Structure formats: structure tokens, C-alpha cells
Structure 1
Amino acid sequence: MAQLQRDDIVSLWTQGVQAVKDKSSCAAVITAKELSIVWGSDSRYWKWVSKTYPISCEALEVAKLITVCWLQIDGEYDTSNLKKGVKYGVYFVVELSDNLCMNGPVTLKLTRPNRTTEEHKEDLETKPKNTLVGLKVGEFINSACGCENTVKFSMNGCDGTTWKTGLTVIGAVIAPVW
């Protein structure tokens, strides 16, 4: 899948933040605190830090991985807050440090509101370091049907045998795909 450049991530995040402020329904931002991070509340594995990025005028509270062998990050969003009939992309926004160690790809999975899924693997070791990286989880069309209104997405690196480090989770963005 195509990797987003830093400027694209800044643009998507800004669009999502503006949509929230304007109470429009064209995009959404999910902060790291709104995601479910396995072991995220255990300071032996994750550290919550305040950091200022070009995507926000204010400092964001982000999750900095110390070390885990079970990497699992889950998110969900109520699509009734988004425009109907629009095609959206879901992206994890992360920063990878020079000491990144994943020992294999992570699995990115999207479960659409109609319960169909999309899944692929990404090798984070090949991504740029010390800059924002947008990992595209997948796409969905926000249909007007009366079905389930939740989109779910995850990042999983659960081989359970190797310790992982060097990942900072900023959050996730859901934005129109043109």
C-alpha cells in the first residue's frame, strides 16, 4: 500500500482537527488516548508523553513504546459522524525511531461497517525514521444503509516471541480518499 508523506499526514490531521472544530463530518481524528493499546497503561511497556508535532498547534499526548512482545493497537469510530456515500481511508499516524525493532511485519486490519474486512502486512523497518509516518489500514465507503455504523481498525505484531521497541503512536485519521 502507498505510504503517505509527512506533508500528507499533516494535511490529513489538520483536516480532521478542523472537521471536529467545525462540527462537520468530512474527517475524523482519533488520538492515541482514544485507541486501545494492549499494556498501554503499564509504564513498564509504554510511556505517555506530551509532544508537539507540526500536525497540531497544541501538544499531543502520545504513546511511546518502551518494549513489548505483544503489540496490539485497536481503534473504532462511529461512521454516522461521517458523510454518507463518501469513500474514506483509515490511517495510523506513528513515528518510528532509529532504534526501531519489530522483527517482522505488523498486520493492519480494517473491519468495515458492513463487516467485510481488509488486511495486509507492513514492514515498519523499511519506513522512514524520526518523522511522521501514515500507515494506511484500508478504505471503506460510508454507505447510507441502516447497518452497523462502526469501522474498526487494528495494528498487530503478536508473534509473542520477540521484543519490539522504537514506535510512537500519535493516533489515527479517517479522511476522504479522492
Structure 2
Amino acid sequence: MDMCVVLPEECISRIISFTSPRDACRSSVVSPAFKSAADSDAVWETFLPSDYQQIISSSSSTTTATLVSLSKKDLYFYLCDNHLLVNNGTLSFSLNKESGKKCYMVGARRLSIAWGDEPRYWTWIDQRLFPQSRFAEVAELKYVFWLDVKGQLETKILSSKTNYVAYLVFKFANSRRGFESRPIELSVYPEGSESETRRNKKVVLDPPRNSLPQPYQRRGDGWMEIEMGEFFNEHGDDGVVVCSLFDFDGFRDKGGLIVEGIELRPKNY
């Protein structure tokens, strides 16, 4: 029996809204009636975050006015394929295409960087020299013995019941040093947790190019990323997650690391 004859479009839309974005797209090719139901705003509104209107209204993007006029399906895929700058341009927001879960990148200006305001240690580079960056500025390490970079994000703005992975998004300058042999310490942990309970990983950030596997992945936007750690955001309570990059070597300095930010994305299933 043809379900489209038995059930009105509103009921079909309601059923599809309990599935996933992938299933909704598949349903749209079943028949014209299914396509109308599967493409409806009623379906795609359920796949968007509950606070998507607030996020869009807080964006500094020039396309904000255009976004509110899109259908909910078009808006969903726009947010998957693009990023919105929020929080005065210090955070970027997007959606995971498979799940609709929230993704955020903490820009370099929002990171806590030890001696980040001292030009002899770190310099800030305008986006005009790094047009592939989504932020107005990136940070370049010039000279330190003590590397200490932290990103913090309130868990309440992330998707609940979601396993997140944090990534350092970076490049190397043509001249770099101090990262080719000594491992740096990466960690992701709740703010206020005891150091003994944190799960740290140590990685050589710039090993010889002929060594496999390389610790980082090359991204489609021209940057590289390396996994820092993961955490499960259960309820999205008013906590804070901390992502840390640390090393101290009193005998050899470091330089040439260019940081765009730290990105938090839902873990792929």
C-alpha cells in the first residue's frame, strides 16, 4: 500500500523528522510526495540546533540577513559547508553534516598564550597575509623555551550527549625549530580537574617527512591539524573544557609554529 495515500504529508514529515539528515535526503528520492515531505521546513528545523536563530543573529558575517530567508534545508547545508564568525569574530561555528551536531573553532585571539602579547616571543599576523584563515589574525611563535597555549570553551554551547574531539589547527613557517625531536604535551580536560586525572598525549609535532605515519592531517583549507584529545559532553552543563598545548625545554628554544586556533568537532562514528 502506498503510504502517501494513507498518510497526509504532515504525518510523513513528522516520521522523517525522527530519522537523520542522511535518511531525509534518501527519502526525498522515493516519490514526489516523499520529496515534498522530506524537504519541508518541519523536517529540517528538527535537525538544526535549538538555538540556531540566536547563533545566526550573533554572527558578524555579512551573510546573516540572507540566511534568515533560506529554507531550513538550505540553511542546514549552508551551515555545514561554511562557518559563521561569532563572539566578535573570535569563534567560528558550523554543523557536522552527518549529524547536525555543533562544531566550534576557538580562534588564536581567544586562546590563552603565554607571552602572547610580547612581540619578541609571538607576533600576530593579519589575515591579508593568510587569506586561507577564517579569522582576522593568526599567531606565529618567534622564540620561547616555555610553550603554553590553552583554549577554553563553555560546554553549554556544544551539543549534548556528544563525543567531541579537539584539534590544534596550525602551520609551520618556512623556518622552524624545536619541534622535530622533542615531543610536546597535548591534553583535553574539564576545567578544575586534578592534573593526576588528566589524560595527556605526547607527540613530536614536526618529525622527519619520511617517517610514517605523520602525526598530523592536512586539511582542505590549507592548514594542518593534530588531535589533542577527546571528551564526552553529557548534558552540556555550565562547565568549561580546556584544550592544552605545553612543553618546557630549558636547553633549546622553539619557533616557527603558526596557530590558527583549536577546533572541537563531533567524533566520527
Q: What's the TM-score, normalizing by structure 2?
A: 0.53
How high is the sequence identity, in percent, across the aligned residues? 26
- Which of 89, 110, 121 pairs up with 1:45? 121
Largest Rg, 1 or 2: 2
The Cα of 1:38 is off from its aligned counterpart by 0.7
Higher percent of residues as helix: 2
Aligned to 1:111: 189
- Asked if 1:77 corresponds to 2:153, the answer is yes
The residue number in structure 1 matching 2:250 is: 160
* Residues 1:136 and 2:227 are matched in the alignment: yes
**CA shift in 2, pair 1:36/1:18, >3 Å:** closer
Higher RCO, 1 or 2 (CA under 8 Å, sep at least 6)?
1
Tell me if 1:67 matches 2:157: no
Contact 2:92 2:107 in 1 (8 A): no
Q: Aligned equivalents of 2:258 and 2:266: distance in 1?
A: 24
The 2-side partners of 1:67 and 1:39 are apart by 10
> Secondary structure at 1:154's aligned position in 2?
strand
CA deviations on 1:50-70 (whole Å, 9 max, x unpaired) are: 1334353xx530111111111
| Preserved CA contact (<8 Å) 1:14 1:55 | no
5 Å matches for 1:6-21? 14=83, 17-19=92-94
Whole-Å Cα distance in 2 between the matches of residues 109 and 14 of structure 1?
25
Inter-partner Cα distance in structure 2 for 1:157 and 1:17: 27
- Name the CA distance, whole Å, in 1 between partners of 2:172 and 2:249: 19
What is the aligned partner in structure 2 of residue 125 from structure 1?
206
Amino acid at match of 1:17: S
CA distance in 2, matches of 1:13, 1:28: 12
Cα deviation, 1:108-150, whole Å, max 9, x if unaligned, reads 011136945221111112267x95211211111101175x611
Unaligned runs of 5+ in 2: 1-79, 85-90, 208-213
> In 1, are the aligned partners of 2:165 and 2:231 still within 8 Å (CA)?
yes
> Does 2:117 match 1:26?
no
Distance 1:163-1:27 versus aligned 2 partners, 3 A rule = same
Aligned residues: 161
**1:18: how far off?**
4.1
Q: Which structure carries more strand by proportion?
A: 1
Q: After superposition, give the CA deviation of every residue in 1:74-104 in whole Å (9 maximum; x if it has no partner).
A: 1111011011101111111111123221151
**Relative to structure 2, which stretch is displaced further, 168-177 or 47-56?**
47-56
Distance 1:72 1:145, change over 3 A: closer
- The 1:12/1:33 distance shift into structure 2, 3 A limit, reads farther
User: What residue ranges of structure 1 are gaps of 5+ in the alignment?
Assistant: 1-10
Q: Is the 8 A contact 2:103 2:265 kept in 1?
A: yes
Take 1:151 and 1:135, find their aligned partners in 2: how far apart are those partners?
A: 18
Return structure 1 stretches of 4+ with deviation > 6 angstroms. Answer: none
Contact 2:147-2:245 within 8 A present in 1 as well: yes
AA partner of residue 122 (structure 1): V
Secondary structure at the aligned position of 1:33 is classed as helix
SS in 2 for 1:17: strand
Q: Per the alignment, in what secondary structure is the counterpart of residue 124 of structure 1?
A: coil
Distance in 2 of aligned mates of 1:13 and 1:42: 33
Partner letter of residue 105 of structure 1? Answer: P
Q: RMSD of the alignment, in Å?
A: 2.9
